[in-house]
């Protein structure tokens, strides 16, 4: 995929630049306002629009050939065609449909303005400051203006307004372009008779599609003929030790016998932290310094239901350390490896971690820090890319509340919440709250 970022004084100029360089099939991935130095010493700044656009490789045309065809005659014909497709009121034919699709957003903001205005906030600027809506209002205004001006531009990828709004929201929340487009197209194709749907129905169908497509794994539970031995591996700083404690606490509360092993001897604090958790939970802890000691430690827990192994964080770029870890854990063939990843990490770093930790056989993925990310879609994208089951999601530091089994409907609903504000509260931890939200907030 060809991706490029453009900067211009306004959205209309940016769109013109994108059309000129990338053609009518380019897709807007992201827009934002930036400040650019304007002066001899960079002291003055001016506001600009930054737009990131993408184009599938198979439709990328040779620019020199394309420009040679763009003669004065063709430009005149294009202008004439555009003029003929415009209604008498100067609006494009499907503008009403787009406005209708975005009506829930405008109504919601209007209602919020009225509610806060009645509480005593008089001026518009004061209202914006009070509600913190300035950026959101500007974003929606920009999006609506863009859609109204460029609906035919988007029809090239075959999306009607409601599907387009849903597609753009998924991009904003971290779902890869390829999978977001595939989801909405499959949902659209599955509507009998191709009839139009309201935005809420499209969102619900997308969440349903995610639930059917997402591969989730079973939580860590005992085997019927012996202990389940699970090692948590992953990059540094993703929260492996805390996650081990959460899983151990949940299993203990369920009446299971748990044994803990740590091979993270690089960080004294990590060993001490796990000792504290082990003492609180009243479960035994062994420290293994060599592969042979790990085999011996696991053997000591033959009477347990589950044995959990905490490992030292490894950089996904340190091939030597990853090879050492693989050799360490490979000493016991009963060990199943669960890759722990931070959902707040850069998507490219997550891709790299999954790829390079693949030197070990991975049984499942655990995503942490869902309370710290604005792009929960990275969980869904990673699952779609690899097919590796997502087993747990965590959102917070509390033990054992802030962890639960992965759920397609909840992860899907997170994409369409009004804001990504996730926390597992004690009262609902057993039923799950990290993704339960009304999709109307799109």
Tokens of 219: 């939580």
Average pLDDT over residues 63-74: 50
Task: Indicate the pLDDT class of residue 435, thresholds 50, 70 and 90.
Answer: very low
- With b for 16 or more beta-carbon neighbours within 10 A and e for fewer, the 155-180 pattern comes to eebebbbbbbbbbbbbbbbbbbbebb
95-109, 250-264, 306-320, 406-420: least confident range: 95-109
Task: Indicate the pLDDT class of residue 75, thresholds 50, 70 and 90.
Answer: low
Looking at per-residue pLDDT, the higher value among 69 and 257 belongs to 257
**Stated length of the chain:** 442
Average pLDDT over residues 235-245: 90
pLDDT in tens, 346-373: 989 999 999 988 888 899 999 999 988 8
Task: Indicate the pLDDT class of residue 175, thresholds 50, 70 and 90.
Answer: very high
Instruction: Order the strands of the 362-368 sheet from edge to edge.
Output: 285-287, 258-262, 306-310, 228-233, 335-342, 362-368, 390-394, 403-405
Looking at per-residue pLDDT, the higher value among 260 and 269 belongs to 260
* Residue 380 preceded by cis peptide, ω within 30: no
42-56, 136-150, 277-291: least confident range: 136-150
Task: Indicate the pLDDT class of residue 131, thresholds 50, 70 and 90.
Answer: very low
142-156, 206-220, 264-278, 322-336: least confident range: 142-156
Average pLDDT over residues 128-155: 52
Summary mean pLDDT of the chain:
75
pLDDT in tens, 281-336: 899 999 888 889 999 999 999 999 999 999 887 777 778 888 888 888 887 788 99
CB proximity list for 338: less than 8 A, separation 6 or greater: 220, 230, 231, 232, 233, 362, 363, 364, 365, 366, 391
Whether residue 401 contacts residue 429, with contact meaning beta carbons closer than 8 Å, is answered with yes
Cβ neighbour number for residue 363 with a 10 Å cutoff: 17
79-83, 255-259, 352-356: least confident range: 79-83
Q: How far is the C-alpha of 95 from the C-alpha of 100, rounded, in Å? A: 9
The answer on pLDDT for 73 being more than 80 is no
Task: Indicate the pLDDT class of residue 427, thresholds 50, 70 and 90.
Answer: very low
Number of H helices, E strands in the chain: 17, 11
The answer on pLDDT for 161 being more than 60 is yes
> pTM above the 0.85 mark?
no
The answer on pLDDT for 121 being more than 50 is no
Domains of the chain plus CATH, in order, are 1-84 (no CATH), 228-406 (3.40.50.300)
Closest CA to 99 of 147, 160, 138, 134: 147
> What is the end-to-end Cα distance of the chain in Å, rounded?
27
Q: How far is the C-alpha of 271 from the C-alpha of 200, rounded, in Å? A: 49
Q: How far is the C-alpha of 350 from the C-alpha of 129, rounded, in Å? A: 36
Tokens of 18: 């994108």
Looking at per-residue pLDDT, the higher value among 162 and 80 belongs to 162
Task: Indicate the pLDDT class of residue 42, thresholds 50, 70 and 90.
Answer: very low
DSSP reduced 3-state for 191: coil
Task: Indicate the pLDDT class of residue 236, thresholds 50, 70 and 90.
Answer: confident
CA angle 219, 353, 306 (to 5 degrees): 25
The reported pLDDT for the residue numbered 48 is 83
Q: How far is the C-alpha of 186 from the C-alpha of 123, rounded, in Å? A: 46
Closest CA to 425 of 392, 402, 400, 399: 402
Strands of 9-123, DSSP E: 27-37, 45-55
Whether residue 246 contacts residue 340, with contact meaning beta carbons closer than 8 Å, is answered with no
Average pLDDT over residues 258-282: 81
107-116, 207-216, 322-331: least confident range: 107-116
Average pLDDT over residues 81-85: 49
């Amino acid at each position: 995929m060809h991706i490029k970022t453009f900067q211009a004084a306004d959205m209309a100029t940016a769109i013109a630049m994108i059309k000129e360089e990338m053609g009518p099939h380019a897709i807007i991935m992201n827009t934002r306002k930036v400040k650019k130095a304007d002066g001899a010493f960079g002291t003055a700044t001016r506001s600009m629009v930054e737009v990131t656009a993408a184009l599938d490789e198979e439709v990328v045309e040779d620019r020199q050939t394309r420009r040679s065809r763009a003669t004065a005659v063709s430009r005149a014909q294009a202008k004439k065609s555009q003029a003929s497709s415009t209604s008498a009121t100067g609006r494009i034919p499907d503008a009403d449909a787009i406005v209708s699709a975005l009506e829930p957003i405008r109504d919601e903001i209007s209602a919020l303005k009225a509610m806060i205005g009645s509480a005593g906030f008089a001026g518009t600027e004061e209202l914006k400051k009070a509600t913190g809506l300035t950026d959101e209002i500007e974003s929606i205004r920009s999006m609506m203006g863009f859609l109204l001006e460029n609906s035919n531009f988007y029809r090239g990828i075959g999306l009607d307004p409601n599907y387009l709004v849903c597609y753009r929201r998924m991009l904003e929340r971290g779902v890869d372009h390829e999978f977001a487009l595939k989801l909405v197209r499959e949902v659209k194709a599955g509507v009998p008779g191709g009839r139009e749907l309201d935005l809420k129905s499209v969102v619900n169908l997308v969440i349903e599609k995610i639930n059917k497509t997402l591969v989730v794994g079973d939580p860590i539970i005992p085997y019927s003929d012996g202990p389940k031995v699970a090692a948590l591996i992953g990059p540094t700083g993703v929260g492996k030790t805390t996650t081990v404690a959460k899983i151990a606490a949940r299993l203990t509360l369920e009446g299971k016998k748990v044994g803990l092993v740590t091979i993270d001897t690089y960080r004294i604090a990590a060993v001490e932290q796990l000792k504290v958790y082990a003492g609180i939970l009243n479960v035994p802890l062994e420290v293994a310094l060599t592969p042979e000691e790990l085999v011996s430690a696991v053997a000591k827990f033959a009477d347990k239901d589950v044995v959990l192994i905490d490992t030292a964080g490894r950089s996904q770029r340190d091939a030597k350390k990853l090879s050492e870890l693989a050799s360490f854990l490979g000493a016991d063939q009963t060990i199943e490896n669960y890759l722990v990843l931070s959902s707040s990490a850069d998507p490219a770093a997550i891709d790299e971690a999954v790829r390079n930790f693949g030197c070990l056989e991975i049984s499942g993925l655990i995503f942490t820090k869902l309370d710290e990310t604005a792009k929960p879609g990275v969980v869904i994208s990673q699952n779609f890319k690899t097919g590796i089951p997502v087993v747990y999601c965590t959102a917070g530091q509390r033990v054992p509340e802030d962890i639960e089994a992965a759920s397609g409907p909840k992860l899907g609903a997170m994409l369409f919440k009004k804001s990504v504000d996730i926390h597992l509260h004690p009262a609902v931890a057993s039923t799950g709250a990290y993704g339960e939200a009304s999709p109307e907030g799109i």
